[in-house]
Structures are given as C-alpha cells and as structure tokens.
Amino acid sequence: MAHAAQFLKLVNEAKKKIKETNVADVKRRSDGGEKFLLVDVREDNEWAKGHLPGAIHMGRGIIERDIEQRVPDTNTKLVLYCGGGFRSALVADNLQKMGYNNVESMDGGWKGWPSLTVRCPTSWTTPQRRAADPGWRKPRAESRLRRKGRRRVPLRYHDPAAGKCHGQKCNEKMFELLHSLTHQYP
C-alpha cells in the first residue's frame, strides 16, 4: 500500500524528534534480558490477528488517553511498534510531548518480525495444542460440526481441573497459554 505524501511528511518530521530502533536490536535486547515494555499501537483488528510475544495493546487512537493509567511512570522504557514503523513513530512523538522520555519506535514493526508472531488459537493444529497443554481436548460439538462441514468453530480450552469448558474465559486462558509457548511453534 502506497502511503499519502502528507502522511509521509508527518512521519518524517516525527522521526527527526524520536529515538528509533529496529527489529534485530529489539530482539537482541529482549533475548539479553533487558526490561522494557513492548507496546503494539495497531488497530484492534490487527492485534486480534496476531502480535509479538509479551506486547501490550494500546491502539494509536487511544494510547494518548490511556497511557497515564496503564503506564504511570514517565521513565518507563517503552518500545512501540505498528505494522511497519510509521504509526509508532507518530505515537512516540506524541508520548514525548506528554512527558514520556524513554520512548523508542521500532522500525520494521510487525512485518519485520514474522518468525515470532503470536498466532490466534484457531491457527494451531490439534497435535500442537496437545503438546502445549496435555489437558487440552477438542470439544465434541466442534468435532461434529467440522465433520458435517457446517461451519468452523473456534477451539476452546478445557480446564481439566474444572472438567468443563467455560466459554470465553477458557478462550482467554488458551490464548494466554499460547502466548507463553509461541516460540516453540513458529
């Protein structure tokens, strides 16, 4: 997608005022144990399709409103990313204007880090899920629906201790589990 000239002008002006980093540097620092908060500034639907492990989501449209509640310390080290590095540069500029003095924009963004992206639970195969969580089992209703070819139902996490599925709560548990195990299944 080609970006509009005025948008690129805004981005270039913001990039002159902020600190930028790249995907390789962020990965190296993360692997080295450096502490920073990775913030995804993309839209909600982009976040839902996948995001980097350990990231929190505050979309560009609301981050200026919500940042003070979620990150009250203005000295917190923040690394922002978006799809390619443009929106994160604009957000970094705004956060610096708000008093956050340790903000970096990750050039390359989501597209530059394809090997470490978190997939939605429905993208995992049954063997991968079983390997990640021995207590997981495929819901019977879903199996019947898939055999009949009626529709695709999202897989749910079943808590073996509870012995039943808790709907959305279980989906959230499964998603958290997959976040912690993502590096095992690219």
Q: What is the mean pLDDT of residues 149-169?
A: 46
Indicate whether 148 and 110 sit together in one domain. Answer: no
Listed range (8-22, 31-45, 107-121) with the worst mean pLDDT: 107-121
pLDDT per position as a tens digit, 54-86: 899 999 989 999 999 999 999 999 999 999 899
Q: What angle do CA 63, 67, 68 make, to 5 degrees?
A: 145
Residue 121, helix vs strand vs coil: helix
35 and 104, same structural domain? yes
109 with 177, same domain?
Answer: no
Helices 5-17/86-97 angle, 10° precision = 50
pLDDT exceeds cutoff 70 at 159: no
Same structural domain, 104 and 126: no
| 29 and 110 inside one domain | yes
Query: Which pLDDT score is estimated for 75?
Result: 95
Please check whether residues 47 and 78 belong to one and the same domain: yes
Q: Does residue 148 share a domain with residue 77?
A: no
- Is the domain of 102 the same as that of 134? no
Tell me what pLDDT residue 123 has.
54
Token representation of residue 135? 């207590």
* Structural domain harbouring 13: 5-116
Instruction: Residue count of the chain, please give it.
Output: 186
Number of domains composing the chain: 2
Final residue belonging to a domain, choices 116, 137, 153: 116
> Is residue 179's pLDDT more than 50?
yes
Cα-based torsion angle of the residue sequence 89, 91, 92, 95 in order, rounded to the nearest 10 degrees: 160
Q: 104 and 54, same structural domain?
A: yes
Query: Within this chain, do residues 126 and 56 fall inside the same structural domain, yes or no?
Result: no
Position 112 scores a pLDDT of 83
